[in-house]
Amino acid sequence: MGNEWKPVGYTSVSVYLVAEGAQRVIDFLKKTFGAADLRRFDTSEGKIMHAEVLVGDTVVMIAAAGGAYPAFPVWLHVYVPDVDETYQKALAAGGVSVQEPVRKQGDPDKRGGVKDPSGNTWWISTQCG
């Protein structure tokens, strides 16, 4: 059985962010995770009605907040090859530190947290074994 019911390369679940400054979030994702643009539809006023970027193997959907769709910050968790390097990229991209990368006893992951320009918290991890 094929997957005609969803686009090729999409997982069954996608994150959907509604953000103040949606373009700033997209720029943050590009600088931090090397996100790639997939699709984008703007309103007649030039706001992001719907955009999709690929972060690793995951599609992140984003829309600009407004009217019936207010912004709401969320927490997201992303596995990366090098948590320390990615954490530094996130800070350089305008992120605000929530937690420096650390490995806690009994946790196989080294994890740090950064807030993006819209207030979403990105937990960045590398499994250490």
Q: What is the pTM of this model?
A: 0.92
Q: Over range 55-67, report the average pLDDT.
A: 95
**47 vs 41: CA distance, rounded Å:** 9
Q: Which residue has the higher pLDDT, 10 or 79?
A: 79
Q: In which band, very low, low, confident or very high, does the pLDDT at 2 lie, cut at 50, 70 and 90?
A: low
Helix (H, G, I), strand (E, B) or coil at 62: strand
The CATH architecture assigned to 15-65+72-127 reads: Roll (3.10)
Residue in 118, 31, 21 with CA at minimum distance from that of residue 74: 118
Q: Over range 61-90, report the average pLDDT.
A: 96
Sequence spans of domains, the chain:
15-65+72-127
Residue pLDDT, tens place only, 6-56: 888 888 889 999 999 999 999 999 999 999 999 999 999 999 999 999 999
How far does Cα 47 stand from its chain's mean position? Answer: 19
Does the pLDDT value for residue 1 go beyond 60?
no
